[in-house]
Structure 1
Amino acid sequence: MVSLVPSLTEAVAVSLPGVLVAATDWCTHPAGLDVTRIGGTKNPDVDALVRLAPDLVLANEEENREPDLTALRQAGIEVLVTEVRDVPGALSELDRVLRACGARTRPRWLDEAEAAWEAPPAPAHRQRAIVPVWRRPWMVLGRDTFAGDVLARLGVDNAYAGHQDRYPRVPLPELTAAAPDLVVLPDEPYRFTPDDGPEAFPGIPCALVDGRMLTWYGPSMARAPELLSEALRAAGR
């Protein structure tokens, strides 16, 4: 098997050790994963991947480019493409991926993740937030995103959830003019730091959160509700 999605790489590697033969350069979990690296999620070395002749390639409709997936299919390689827009969808797709990779039973972490999201920590009150994912230019979470659903389940409503784009580019003055209760700054894909909040959003509480907890669907989902809630409370909830 080959994974082109960091979240799925971690899920498969910890559940079915030895199944993966290759992954992207961005597949950083689990630590010490010893597989062939075949480039980035957006620019994998398709020729090298074809030479590996995997039984299955794991991909995602958002992470990976359709021309690369089409090239793999034309080379006779089976590609499983996931679509993850919310927490229930993530749990369902993870189960599907693991079964496709040969799992006969559900891993314990998947049961723990499902249980954690059935009763996440209750917020003291709901807040309206903007959630930047990139800077230069500024990009934020828009409609139908996994991370947006994660936050909504923890009491944080995305100010741009109704935008026509999933990751709209929004000038900084417009973001500040939206007057959110909170700014949520993940440390990936853009590595926001504590300095980015006060510098860009003076006077607005900012929560620096672990990007893996917010955007990865895999074993991290079991601890995400607790850790994200702690980070949000620390921002002044």
Structure 2
Amino acid sequence: MSTAHRAVRVVSLVPSITETLLAWGIVPVACTRFCEQPGIQSVGGTKNPEIADIVGLEPDLVVVNDEENRREDADALVAHGIAVHSCSPRSVADVAPALDALAAVLGLDVDVEPADDLLPALDLRAFIPIWRRPWMTLSGDTYGSSLLASIGVVNAFGGDGDRYPTIELTAVADRGADVVLAPTEPYAFKPFHLEVFRPIAPVVEVDGQDLFWWGVCTPQARRRLHAAIAAAVLA
């Protein structure tokens, strides 16, 4: 990767983007408490950023995501004269163009690694729980579902109209899942939750960041998920 850029003051309200910026050699002047960067100033959460603190930092750019952040917060920043850039991929194919667009806004010259290297298709059908009380999963119109599809894992709820449908576990069996992929986030399922899933199909715990964080991490995350699922299910 080559970089050639002027010094910029960036606030990242997206954990995936914080990780990407650091990989590009840009240390944000602030980020959210979910970005797992204790050395960088926190300006609140993704859904409740401290607008006054962000404005006081006088950033050149604030990066948001239309799913993780609220429109009213982005509008408030714009109203204060702050430049806001939305980076909101819905699929693996969207990641490289989204990163190219972000790099252009930042004046960076970067080489974005494609995430389309051929991996043996896993040929599995999966149920992916993401929340409890109520039970929720994800549909096909999501980055996580697209990432799984790229390694040959069909989302059992991929055809649902809601992006994050609320479900009843009793109805999951009808979807014919070969495996339950239980991510470590956004909900940290406990061992007793995993036992609830076992009557549906064999359960594999997967890294939620590999499944849901996108950016420079996408190519390696895709390979790690493929290896983890293959080792657990196909061994």
TM-score of the aligned structures, taking structure 1 as reference length:
0.88
Distance 1:55 1:137 in 2: 40
Q: Which residue does the alignment assign to 1:3? A: 12
8 A contact 1:176–1:201 mirrored in 2 = no
* 1:119 and 2:124 correspond: no
Q: Which residue does the alignment assign to 1:55? A: 60
**Is there any run of 5+ residues in structure 1 with no aligned partner, and where?**
none
Q: Secondary structure at the match of 1:64?
A: coil
The CA deviation string for residues 171-220 of structure 1, in whole angstroms up to 9 with x for no partner, is: 22122343311111110111134553333332511121111111111232
Amino acid at match of 1:14: A
8 A contact 1:121–1:225 mirrored in 2 = no
Deviation at 1:127, TM superposition (A): 1.6
Give runs of aligned pairs for residues 121-160 of structure 1, distance below 5 A: 121-124=119-122, 126-160=123-157
8 A contact 1:209–1:228 mirrored in 2 = yes
Q: Which residue does the alignment assign to 1:205? A: 202
Q: Secondary structure at the match of 2:161?
A: coil
Give runs of aligned pairs for residues 24-39 of structure 1, distance below 5 A: 24-28=32-36, 34-39=39-44
- Aligned in 2, Cα 1:81/1:153: closer, same or farther, shift over 3 Å? same
Distance 1:120 1:170 in 2: 33
8 A contact 1:143–1:167 mirrored in 2 = no
Q: Which residue does the alignment assign to 1:73? A: 78
After the TM superposition, which segments of 4 or more aligned residues of structure 1 sit over 4 Å from their partners?
none
The CA deviation string for residues 137-181 of structure 1, in whole angstroms up to 9 with x for no partner, is: 111011310110000011111111111110011122122343311
Q: Secondary structure at the match of 1:134?
A: coil
Distance 2:45 2:214 in 1: 18
Give runs of aligned pairs for residues 156-171 of structure 1, distance below 5 A: 156-171=153-168
TM-score of the aligned structures, taking structure 2 as reference length:
0.89
Distance 2:136 2:191 in 1: 18
Q: Which residue does the alignment assign to 1:85? A: 90
Amino acid at match of 1:52: L
Distance 2:177 2:202 in 1: 9
Distance 1:140 1:189 in 2: 11
The CA deviation string for residues 4-35 of structure 1, in whole angstroms up to 9 with x for no partner, is: 000001101121233x100000001xxx5522
Distance 1:191 1:91 in 2: 29
Q: Which residue does the alignment assign to 1:94? A: 99
Distance 2:223 2:191 in 1: 20
Q: Which residue does the alignment assign to 2:187? A: 190
**Alignment RMSD, CA only?**
1.7
Aligned partner of 2:222 among 217, 220, 225: 225
Aligned partner of 1:172 among 169, 173, 196: 169
Amino acid at match of 1:223: Q
Deviation at 1:86, TM superposition (A): 0.6
How many residues align structurally? Answer: 225
Deviates more, 1:38-47 or 1:95-104: 95-104
Q: Secondary structure at the match of 1:89?
A: helix
Distance 2:181 2:59 in 1: 39
* 1:22 and 2:30 correspond: yes
8 A contact 2:156–2:176 mirrored in 1 = no
Distance 1:224 1:120 in 2: 14
